Chains A and B, each alone.
Chain A
Amino acid sequence: MSVDKSDIEKIAHLARLQIDEADVADYTTHLANILDLVAQMNSVDTEHVTPMAHPMDAVQRLREDVVTETNQREHFQAIAPQVEDGLYLVPRVIE
């Protein structure tokens, strides 16, 4: 499986990761190696196998519709990088 620089840039953008130009080659090699390793999966015919998303063969438990949480804004915002008037601040979002 070949991976090139533009693949790395595309994935890094999707994942919102800044990657140093100098590291692009490393990422490229690593991803290519992983894809080689993972290619072993192709040796198995899985046409009639159902995917397993969970180790447990269980179904979702349902919660009762009751309010259990109280306002903890000050507590939660004490660890926030930038807040004002109870809002989290981010660089301006343009739509």
Chain B
Amino acid sequence: MEWETVIGLEIHTQLATRSKIFSGAATAYGAEPNTQACAVDLGLPGVLPVLNGEVVRMAIKFGLAIDAEITPLSVFARKNYFYPDLPKGYQISQFELPIVGKGQVTIELADGSSKVVGVTRAHLEEDAGKSLHEDFHGMTGIDLNRAGTPLLEIVSEPDMRSAQEAVAYMRKIHSIVRYIEISDGNMQEGSFRCDANVSVRPKGQKEFGTRAELKNINSFRFVEKAIELEVERQIDILESGGTVVQETRLYDANRNETRSMRSKEEAMDYRYFPDPDLLPVQVTDEDIEKVRQTLPELPDAKKARFVEDYSLSSEDAGILTASRELSIYFETVVEGCGEAKLAANWVMGELGGYLNRENLDIGNSPVSAEMLAGMLKRISDNTIYGKIAKEVFEAMWKGEGDADAIIDSKGLKQITDSGAIESLIDEVLANNPKQVEEYRGGKEKMLGFFVGQIMKATGGKANPGQVNQILKEKLKGG
């Protein structure tokens, strides 16, 4: 039988605020345990939540970025369950009336086509703390620093049909939240993580199959792997005549397997009800307009502009706009050197390679956009050419200064004085009469030999085009 995979994602993105969603405690990552958990975060008796206005603006910003409806009066509800990392015994979240309603994003598929994925809703909520399972005499330690950190949970429609589509969607959301600067998207620190609802059904069947929820996946690679494994597992079950159980599963990256997390015999009964400690959150048209003013150019629009303005291929434009930092870097280079194609080749080629090798973000590149532009200018004005340029780039990467300084100190400037080149050529031709004869006898391949000799004599600094041209004239002249 042919199977079809159905995937929906719930992405939790941590909002980049200074203070927590309902308290004035700091949200900084990596503090000593429980030093950023104030009375409100600890759920001490008598404390009350007060909503951070910044999270509301950030949620609106996201809503606008995905063309979604913004709810004029949204409501915070309590999701009740007991867990040691949940101090109040309930999580303040949004249930019936989320702040962001239906929206959509477009993803690019491997075959070059694109697909629209629906976003059902996005709602604000507080994060829980962390359980540490190291050995405390067989006990678990609870750190509540993260409790109360603002999250935007972005829920997709079950529109994705493969692990690859799921990854493309996740990347797209990741790029949007970073473009609009509502989240740092840092996956190692848990600022961007997702749950995947996965089911399979016979191709052509309308009803969805029973789904499993894969919890807390925090990398693009793991999403793909976890989904693929889960699909395989479900198909195996179905093909051997079994039934898939609705449950929560955990992806174990070390063992490369998914396993059942908590038994669902006790169906979760969260007893949602509107939080009486908080009032409805009002968003007026005026509020929305104010946020709209702060919205930067979004990835899709920027990509279209790159194709149009810089005559880049759609693929290159896609790569260069995948992150806002990279797109800004690229445009700074273009501005500095004036040649978009050249800039694109270097940013995606040499620079991309170095960054990859050293596992660095564009933000941490030792070669700034201005430095790269400075070097590319020297290629444009024929001061250096390709091979030398790579040498200059490497030196810049190692922190030896900017392009001009390196060219100067290493004496890498191209010899462009045609008189000097002519005399060099004369010398080479005079020293190699036999080869000259051969060339003139029709062995045109010998041209390469002469070019090589000349480059050797100049330490590679002669302009190959210029050398070629003069050589051909001289050899013709006889």
- Residues of A at the B interface (CB closer than 8 Å) are 13-14, 16, 53-54, 56, 58-69, 71-73, 76-77, 82, 84-93, 95
**What B residues does A73 contact at CB under 8 A?**
32, 34-35, 37
Interface-lining segment among B113-121, B131-139, B180-188: B131-139
When the two chains form their complex, are residues A84 and B73 in contact, meaning their CB atoms are under 8 A apart?
no
**What A residues does B449 contact at CB under 8 A?**
none
How far, in angstroms, from A84 to B274 measured CA to CA in the complex? Answer: 36
**What B residues does A61 contact at CB under 8 A?**
50-51, 279
State the 5 A-B residue pairs at the shortest beta-carbon distance, nearest first.
A68-B24, A62-B53, A87-B141, A65-B54, A69-B38
Q: Whole-angstrom distance from the CB of B435 to the nearest CB of chain A?
A: 76
B contact residues, range: 35 or more
When the two chains form their complex, are residues B281 and A59 in contact, meaning their CB atoms are under 8 A apart?
yes
**What A residues does B279 contact at CB under 8 A?**
54, 56, 58-61
Q: Given A53-B276, A59-B281, A66-B18, A92–B36 Cβ distance below 8 Å?
A: no
Q: Whole-angstrom distance from the CB of A50 to the nearest CB of chain B?
A: 12
Contact of A76 among B18, B33, B42, B281 (CB under 8 A): B42
A-contact bits for B39-59, CB 8 A (1 contact / 0 none): 100101000001111111000
**What B residues does A91 contact at CB under 8 A?**
139-140
Can you list 16 A-B contacts (CB < 8 A)? A58-B279, A60-B278, A62-B51, A62-B52, A62-B53, A64-B53, A65-B19, A66-B19, A69-B26, A86-B35, A87-B33, A87-B141, A89-B140, A89-B142, A90-B139, A90-B142
How far, in angstroms, from A22 to B140 measured CA to CA in the complex? Answer: 33
**What A residues does B52 contact at CB under 8 A?**
62-65
How far, in angstroms, from A82 to B53 measured CA to CA in the complex? Answer: 36
Task: Select from chain B the residue with minimum beta-carbon distance to A92.
Answer: B140
When the two chains form their complex, are residues B280 and A59 in contact, meaning their CB atoms are under 8 A apart?
yes
When the two chains form their complex, are residues A67 and B133 in contact, meaning their CB atoms are under 8 A apart?
no
**What A residues does B144 contact at CB under 8 A?**
88
Q: Whole-angstrom distance from the CB of B77 to the nearest CB of chain A?
A: 10
When the two chains form their complex, are residues A62 and B56 in contact, meaning their CB atoms are under 8 A apart?
yes
Q: Whole-angstrom distance from the CB of A23 to the nearest CB of chain B?
A: 21
Q: Whole-angstrom distance from the CB of A43 to the nearest CB of chain B?
A: 23
How far, in angstroms, from A82 to B140 measured CA to CA in the complex? Answer: 11
When the two chains form their complex, are residues B19 and A67 in contact, meaning their CB atoms are under 8 A apart?
yes
**What B residues does A13 contact at CB under 8 A?**
266
Q: In residues 123-158 of chain B, which contact A (Cβ within 8 Å)?
A: 131-133, 136, 138-144
When the two chains form their complex, are residues B73 and A67 in contact, meaning their CB atoms are under 8 A apart?
no
How far, in angstroms, from A56 to B250 measured CA to CA in the complex? Answer: 44
B206 within 8 A of A: no
Q: Given A59-B279, A86-B34, A95–B84 Cβ distance below 8 Å?
A: no
When the two chains form their complex, are residues B26 and A87 in contact, meaning their CB atoms are under 8 A apart?
no
Contact of B18 among A62, A65, A71 (CB under 8 A): A65
How far, in angstroms, from A69 to B138 measured CA to CA in the complex? Answer: 33
**What B residues does A63 contact at CB under 8 A?**
19, 24, 50-53
**What A residues does B36 contact at CB under 8 A?**
71
How far, in angstroms, from A89 to B42 measured CA to CA in the complex? Answer: 14
Contact of B32 among A16, A56, A64, A86 (CB under 8 A): A86
**What B residues does A59 contact at CB under 8 A?**
73, 279-282
**What A residues does B143 contact at CB under 8 A?**
86-87
When the two chains form their complex, are residues B26 and A67 in contact, meaning their CB atoms are under 8 A apart?
yes
